[in-house]
C-alpha cells in the first residue's frame, strides 16, 4: 500500500525513530517505518534529512495537532504492515472511522495536510455517507452548519449569470431543440394537448439563468403563491408533459426581464422546504414549472411570432459561431452529421 | 456568543474547497447539488466537483406520486442544468444510469462529457434499442476508462484512436459485425484491461481479441435462456486471442465452441469456466481407448505455462468418461478447482501428474459462480 522509499537503510536489530513536532510545540518520537507511511513525512526524511534528532524534528503542518497525529499514526501503524489481507484492512478501517463528526473533519484535514491519500479517502467517504440522502436540516444539524442563506438564495441554486449572452443563447438553443423533440413526441401521440398551460422548458432555463424569484417573500408574492398552490395541484397533470410547446416569446420576455418570477420549487418557498427531503428539493429545483406573470400566460402559439423568434435565434446562432468553437455549435444543434471532429479541444469555460 | 459558538462548531466548513469537493465527489451528483442550499459556504461547491454521477433511478422513486414521464423530464432537466453550470473543464468521471428511450439527450450528454476531457466514462443504459456513440468518442484523447453497458450499438468507424485508454468494459453491447471488437482494439495502443460480457445475437460470431499491450482479459458469455436462433445456423461462436503480454485470462463461456489462443508467454493466472460439447470424443490409438480432444484441452495446452490455474466443474464435467490428455504445467504452483455440487475426482491424479512444481491445491465448493 505505501510507496515507502527503500533508500532509507534501517538497522536490522533496532527500530529507528523519527522526531515529529506538532504546531503546539510538543515533540514526540515515532517509529520511522510508521511515520514514513505519510508521504509528507517521507519527503522530509529523505529529501531534507530531517527528523533524525530532537533538534531537527520535522515540523508538521498546522492542521495536525497531537490528538490527530496520534490517530494518523494509529492508521499508519496498522496499514504499513505488508502482510495484511484486504479483509483485515477493511475491517480495521470500519472500526477506525467510528468517531464523532468533529474529529472526523479534523482528521480529514490532518490527513490531507500530510498527503496521506488513503486516509483522506476513507474519512471523506465517511463524511459523504453522512450527507447522502439526508434532509438539509439533518445535515445542518450533523455538521452545525449555519442556516445563513436567504430564502431567495435557497431558491436560486447558482450564481446569477443572466449577463452572459452565450449562456442565454445556449439556453435558447437547448429550448429550441427540446421543443423540436417534444414536437416529434407530440406528433406520435394521438391526443393534442392544450398549448398554453405548460411552460416547462422555459422555466427550466430560467431556473438557472435568472435565479430566484425577483419578488421576495414580502413583496407581491401573492400572485406567485397562488400559482404555486395551483401548480402544486397541477403537478399531477401529465397531459402537459407531452405537449410542451416552447413559447419563444415568453422566453425572450423572461430573459430580458431579470429575475422574473421563477418558481424553482413551490415547496421550497413555503417553509416545508426545510422538511422535504433533499431528493425532492432537487427534483423540484430543476424541474420546469409554470410560473409566468398573468400577462404572458394567455398567448397562443402564434406562428408569426414563432417565425420572428426563429429568426432571432438564427441571428444569435451566427453570433454564437463567432464566439464559440465550432464543436460546441455542433453539439448544440445535435446534428448527426458524421463529420469527424478532430482532436479533443476543451470547452473554454471561463467561470 | 451564539453565532460565534456555532461558527466554532462548524468544523467541516473550515476545510479547504478542494477537500469539500472531494467529499462531494463520493456522492451521486443529485445529492452533491443538493448541498447548495445548506449554507453560504456550500452554495457553489458542487459546481467544482469533477465527478458527475447521474442515475435516473434516484428520480424514479415509486413512493412519490409524480408520474414517470415527469420524473424522466426532471432528470433530463437536471442533467442538462448541471452540465451547463458545472465549472469543471476536465471531468474525472462521468457516470450515467438511464432508462428512458429519449436518446437525443444521451447523445448530447456524451458529447459534452467528451468535450470536457472526460477521463472515465461509465454508461449504463437500460433501453430498448441501441444508442450510437458520437464519432468524437472514437478519437477521444483523454479517455482512460470506458464502461459501456446495455444496448449500445457499436458501429465502429474506420479511424479509432484512443491513446489514453487503459481499461475497456463492454457489457451487453451490440456490434455491427465480426470485426467490430478488433477495429476498436486496434486503436487502443495502451490498453491493459478488457472485459467483454456478451449476449447472444450481438452479431459477433468470432470474438477476435488482438492487442499487444493487453494484460487482463475477461470474457463472459452465457445463454440468455431464450430460444437460440443460432442453433439452426452452421456458424459457431469462436474466441480468438492474440495478446502476447497477457497476464490474466478469465473465460466464462458456455456458448463458444472453439478457442484459438496464441502463445501467452507472460500469463500468470487463468480462470477457465467453459462448457464442452460431449461430441468431442474420439477414438485414440494411444490409450487404446476413447479419449477427449476437445478445444478445452487445446486451450489448456496453450496456457500450460500459467502459474495459477482455476478450473470449474463445468469445464471438467465432460471428461468423466475417460482421463484427458493433459499438457505438462511446468510453472504451475497453484491449482484451484471450483465446483457446484459434487466433485469428480477422476482426473485429479492426471492434473497432479502434469504439475511437477505444484505447491498448492485448492478445492472449493461454491454456491454461485465467481464473476
For A106-151, the pLDDT digits (tens) are 999 999 999 999 999 999 999 999 999 888 889 988 888 888 887 7
Considering B182, B199, B214, which residue would you say is the last residue of a domain? B214
Contact state of A105 with B70 under an 8 Å Cβ cutoff: no
- Residue B8: exposure state from Cβ atoms within 10 A (0-12, 13-18, ≥19): exposed
Q: Which residues pair with B210 in a beta bridge?
A: B242
Which DSSP helix (H) or strand (E) runs through B21? helix B17-24
Neighbouring CB atoms inside 10 A of B240's CB total 15
Interchain CB contact of A327 with B (< 8 Å): yes
Of the candidates A127, A158, A334, the beta carbon closest to that of B108 is on A334
For A192, counting Cβ atoms within 10 Å of its Cβ (0-12 exposed, 13-18 middle, 19+ buried), the class is: exposed
DSSP states of B334-360? EEEEEESS----TTHHHHHHT-TT--E
Which of A148, A282, A331 is facing B39, going by the closest CB pair? A148
Q: Which helix (H) or strand (E) holds A297?
A: helix A294-297
Minimal C-alpha gap between A16 and chain B (Å): 33
Q: Residue A238: list chain B partners with CB under 8 A.
A: 67, 69-70
Query: How far apart, in Å, are the Cα atoms of B111 and each of A221, A331, B108, B117, B137?
Result: 40, 7, 5, 10, 8
> Both B173 and B57 in a single domain?
yes
- What residues of chain A, 55 to 94, have a C-beta less than 8 Å from chain B? none
Within 199-258 of B, beta carbons closer than 8 Å to A belong to: none
- B121 to chain A, any CB pair closer than 8 A? The answer is no
Question: Which has the closest alpha carbon to A64: A16, A13, A30, A14?
Answer: A30
Residues B309-356 pLDDT 10s = 998 877 776 554 455 678 889 999 999 988 776 666 777 888 888 889
Count other Cβ atoms within 10 Å, centred on residue B72: 20
Same domain, B87 and B190: yes
DSSP code of residue A243:
T
Check whether residue B108 and residue B194 sit in a common domain. Answer: yes
Q: Is residue B18 part of a domain?
A: no
**Beta carbons of A278 and B67 less than 8 Å apart:** no
Q: Is residue B11 part of a domain?
A: no
Residues 5-44 of B with CB under 8 A from A: 6-7, 9-16, 19, 22-28, 30-31, 33-44
Mean per-residue pLDDT pooled into runs of 10, chain B (371 residues): 60 89 94 89 90 86 69 87 90 90 84 94 82 88 92 78 95 83 92 91 84 94 66 72 94 86 92 72 49 71 90 68 73 88 72 89 71 51
Residues B371 and B248 in one domain: yes
Whether B170 and B79 map to the same domain: the answer is yes
Is residue B83 situated within a structural domain?
yes
Best B34, B102, B160 residue to mutate vs chain A (most A CBs within 10 Å): B34
Question: ∠B159-B154-B224 over CA atoms, to 5°?
Answer: 150
The answer to whether A346 contacts chain B (CB < 8 Å) is yes
Q: Do B104 and A331 touch (CB under 8 A)?
A: no
A348: chain B residues, CB-CB within 8 Å: 89
Domain contains B15: no
Same-domain check for residues B257 and B335: yes
**B272 lies in the same domain as B209:** no
Each residue's pLDDT, cut to its tens digit, for chain A (351 residues) gives: 555 555 555 555 567 888 999 988 889 999 988 998 999 998 888 888 888 888 888 889 988 989 999 999 999 999 999 888 999 999 999 999 999 999 999 999 999 999 999 999 999 999 999 999 888 889 988 888 888 887 777 766 554 433 345 555 565 666 676 677 777 777 766 554 444 444 444 445 445 544 433 333 333 333 433 433 343 344 434 333 333 333 344 444 433 333 333 333 333 333 343 444 444 444 444 444 333 333 333 334 456 666 666 666 666 555 545 444 444 444 444 443 333 444 344 433 333
pLDDT in tens, A273-326: 344 444 444 444 444 433 333 333 333 445 666 666 666 666 655 554 544 444
From residue B266, alpha-carbon distances to A22, B208, B247, B300, B307 in Å are 49, 19, 5, 15, 10
The reply to whether B138 and B179 lie within a common domain is: yes
In a domain, B37, yes or no: no
Q: Closest Cα partner for B54 from B118, B135, B138, B144?
A: B118
Q: Is residue B295 located within the same domain as residue B207?
A: no
Interchain CB distance below 8 Å, B19 and A288: no
Is there a contact between B218 and B194 (Cβ–Cβ < 8 Å)? yes
Strands B308-312 and B360-365: unpaired
Residue B1: burial class (beta carbons within 10 Å; 0-12, 13-18, 19+): exposed
* Residue B359 placed within a domain: yes
Shortest Cα–Cα distance, B31 to chain A (Å): 6
**Interchain proximity B89–A347, CB inside 8 Å:** yes
Q: What is the pLDDT of residue A244?
A: 36
Smallest CA–CA distance, residue B124 to chain A, in Å, is 21
B271 φ, ψ (degrees, to nearest 5):
-125, 115
Q: How confident is the model at residue A114, as a pLDDT?
A: 92
Query: How many other CB atoms are there within 10 angstroms of residue A250's CB atom?
Result: 20
Q: Which of A 301-320 lie inside 8 A of B, CB atoms?
A: none
Closest-CA residue of A relative to B114 is A344
Select the residue of A136, A154, A241 nearest B69 (Cβ to Cβ): A241
DSSP letters spanning A166-201: HHHHHHHHHHHHHHHHHHHHHHHSSSPPPSSS--HH
Containing structural domain, residue B347:
238-371
Whether A208 contacts B85, CB under 8 Å:
yes
> Which residue from B126, B127, B94, B99 is spatially nearest to B111, judged by alpha carbons?
B94
> Is B178 among the domain residues?
yes
Instruction: Please report whether residue B336 resides in a domain.
Output: yes
C-alpha B28/C-alpha B9 separation (Å) is 27
Q: Do residues A207 and B84 make contact, with C-beta atoms less than 8 angstroms apart? A: no
* Chosen domain end from B164, B179, B214: B214
User: Residues 6 or more apart from B21 whose CB is under 8 A from it?
Assistant: B45, B48, B49, B50
Dihedral, CA atoms, B349, B350, B353, B359, nearest 10 degrees? -70
Same domain, B258 and B193: no
What is the pLDDT, as a whole number, of residue A230? 40
Determine contact, residues B254/B287, Cβ cutoff 8 Å.
Answer: no
B104 and A181 in contact by Cβ < 8 A?
yes
- Among B214, B246, B274, where does a domain finish? B214
Q: Are residues B201 and B251 in the same domain?
A: no
How high is the pLDDT of residue A8?
Answer: 59
pTM higher than 0.90: no
Task: Give the whole-angstrom CA distance, residue A122 versus residue A63.
Answer: 18
Distance CA B128, CA A263 (A): 35
Is A184 near chain B, with CB under 8 Å?
Answer: no
B210 and B257 in a single domain? The answer is no
Determine, for residues B37 and A347 on separate chains, whether the beta-carbon distance falls below 8 Å: no
CB atoms within 10 A of CB B36: 23
**DSSP, res B253:** E
Count: domains in chain B: 2
With an 8 Å Cβ cutoff, is A262 touching chain B?
Answer: no
User: Which of B23, B56, B80, B94 to mutate to probe the A interface, most A CBs <10 Å?
Assistant: B23
* A 102-121 near B (Cβ less than 8 A): 102, 105-106, 108-109, 112, 120
Amino acid at each position: 500500500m505505501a510507496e515507502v522509499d527503500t533508500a532509507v537503510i534501517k538497522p536490522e536489530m533496532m527500530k529507528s525513530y523519527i522526531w515529529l513536532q506538532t504546531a503546539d510545540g510538543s515533540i514526540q518520537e515515532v517509529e520511522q517505518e510508521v511515520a514514513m507511511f505519510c508521504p509528507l513525512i517521507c519527503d522530509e526524511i529523505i529529501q531534507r534529512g530531517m527528523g533524525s534528532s530532537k533538534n531537527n524534528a520535522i515540523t508538521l503542518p498546522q492542521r495536525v495537532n497531537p490528538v490527530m497525529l496520534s490517530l494518523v499514526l494509529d492508521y499508519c501503524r496498522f496499514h504499513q504492515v505488508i502482510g495484511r489481507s484486504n479483509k483485515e484492512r477493511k475491517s480495521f478501517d470500519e472500526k477506525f472511522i467510528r468517531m464523532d463528526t468533529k474529529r472526523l473533519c479534523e482528521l480529514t484535514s490532518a490527513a490531507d495536510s500530510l498527503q496521506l491519500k488513503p486516509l483522506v479517502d476513507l474519512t471523506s467517504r465517511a463524511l459523504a455517507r453522512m450527507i447522502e440522502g439526508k434532509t438539509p436540516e439533518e445535515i445542518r444539524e450533523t455538521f452545525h452548519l449555519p442556516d445563513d442563506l436567504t430564502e431567495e438564495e435557497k431558491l436560486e441554486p447558482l450564481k446569477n449569470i443572466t449577463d452572459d449572452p452565450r449562456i442565454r443563447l445556449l439556453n435558447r438553443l437547448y429550448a429550441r431543440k427540446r421543443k423540436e423533440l417534444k414536437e416529434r413526441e407530440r406528433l406520435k401521440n394521438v391526443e393534442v394537448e392544450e398549448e398554453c398551460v405548460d411552460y416547462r422548458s422555459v422555466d427550466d432555463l430560467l431556473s438557472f439563468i435568472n435565479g430566484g424569484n425577483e419578488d421576495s417573500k414580502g413583496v407581491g408574492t401573492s400572485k406567485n403563491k397562488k400559482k404555486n398552490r395551483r401548480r402544486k395541484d397541477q403537478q399531477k397533470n401529465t397531459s402537459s408533459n407531452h405537449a410542451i410547446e416552447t413559447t419563444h416569446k415568453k422566453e425572450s420576455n423572461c430573459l430580458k426581464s431579470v429575475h422574473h418570477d421563477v418558481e424553482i420549487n413551490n415547496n421550497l418557498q413555503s417553509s416545508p422546504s426545510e422538511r422535504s427531503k433533499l431528493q425532492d428539493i432537487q427534483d423540484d429545483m430543476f424541474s420546469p414549472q409554470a410560473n409566468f406573470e398573468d400577462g404572458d400566460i394567455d398567448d397562443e402559439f402564434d406562428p408569426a411570432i414563432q417565425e420572428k423568434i426563429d429568426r432571432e435565434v438564427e441571428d444569435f446562432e451566427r453570433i454564437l459561431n463567432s464566439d464559440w468553437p465550432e464543436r460546441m455549435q455542433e453539439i448544440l444543434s445535435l446534428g448527426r452529421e458524421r463529420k469527424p471532429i478532430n482532436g479533443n479541444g476543451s470547452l473554454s469555460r471561463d467561470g | 456568543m451564539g453565532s460565534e459558538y456555532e461558527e466554532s462548531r462548524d468544523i467541516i466548513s473550515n476545510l479547504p474547497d478542494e477537500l469539500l469537493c472531494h467529499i462531494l465527489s463520493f456522492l451521486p451528483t443529485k445529492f452533491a447539488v443538493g448541498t447548495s442550499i445548506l449554507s453560504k459556504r456550500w452554495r457553489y461547491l458542487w459546481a467544482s466537483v469533477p465527478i458527475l454521477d447521474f442515475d435516473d433511478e434516484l428520480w424514479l422513486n415509486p413512493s412519490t406520486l409524480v408520474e414517470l414521464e415527469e420524473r424522466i423530464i426532471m432528470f433530463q432537466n437536471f442533467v442538462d442544468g448541471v452540465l451547463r453550470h458545472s465549472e469543471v473543464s476536465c471531468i474525472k468521471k462521468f457516470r450515467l444510469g438511464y432508462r428512458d428511450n429519449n436518446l437525443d439527450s444521451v447523445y448530447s450528454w456524451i458529447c459534452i462529457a467528451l468535450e470536457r476531457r472526460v477521463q472515465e466514462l461509465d454508461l449504463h443504459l437500460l433501453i430498448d434499442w441501441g444508442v450510437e456513440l458520437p464519432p468524437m468518442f472514437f478519437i477521444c484523447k483523454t479517455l482512460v476508462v470506458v464502461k459501456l453497458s446495455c444496448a449500445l450499438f457499436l458501429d465502429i468507424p474506420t479511424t479509432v484512436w484512443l491513446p489514453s485508454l487503459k481499461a475497456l468494459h463492454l457489457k451487453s453491447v451490440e456490434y455491427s459485425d465480426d470485426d467490430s471488437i478488433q477495429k476498436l482494439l486496434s486503436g487502443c495502443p495502451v490498453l491493459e484491461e478488457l472485459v467483454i460480457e456478451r449476449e447472444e445475437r450481438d452479431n459477433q460470431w468470432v470474438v477476435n481479441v488482438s492487442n499487444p499491450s493487453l494484460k487482463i482479459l475477461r470474457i463472459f458469455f452465457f445463454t440468455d435462456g431464450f430460444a437460440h436462433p443460432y442453433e439452426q445456423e452452421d456458424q459457431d461462436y469462436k474466441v480468438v486471442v492474440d495478446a502476447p503480454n497477457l497476464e490474466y485470462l478469465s473465460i466464462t463461456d458456455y456458448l463458444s465452441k472453439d478457442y484459438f489462443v496464441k502463445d501467452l508467454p507472460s500469463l500468470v493466472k487463468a480462470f477457465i469456466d467453459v462448457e464442452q460439447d460431449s461430441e468431442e470424443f474420439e477414438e485414440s490409438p494411444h490409450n487404446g481407448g476413447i479419449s477427449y480432444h476437445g478445444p478445452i484441452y487445446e486451450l489448456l495446452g496453450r496456457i500450460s505455462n500459467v502459474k495459477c490455474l482455476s478450473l470449474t466443474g463445468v469445464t471438467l464435467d465432460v471428461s468423466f468418461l475417460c482421463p484427458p490428455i493433459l499438457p505438462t504445467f511446468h510453472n504451475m504452483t497453484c491449482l484451484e478447482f471450483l465446483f457446484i455440487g459434487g466433485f469428480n475426482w477422476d482426473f485429479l491424479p492426471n492434473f497432479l501428474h502434469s504439475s511437477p512444481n505444484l505447491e498448492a491445491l485448492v478445492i472449493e465448493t461454491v454456491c454461485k459462480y465467481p464473476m
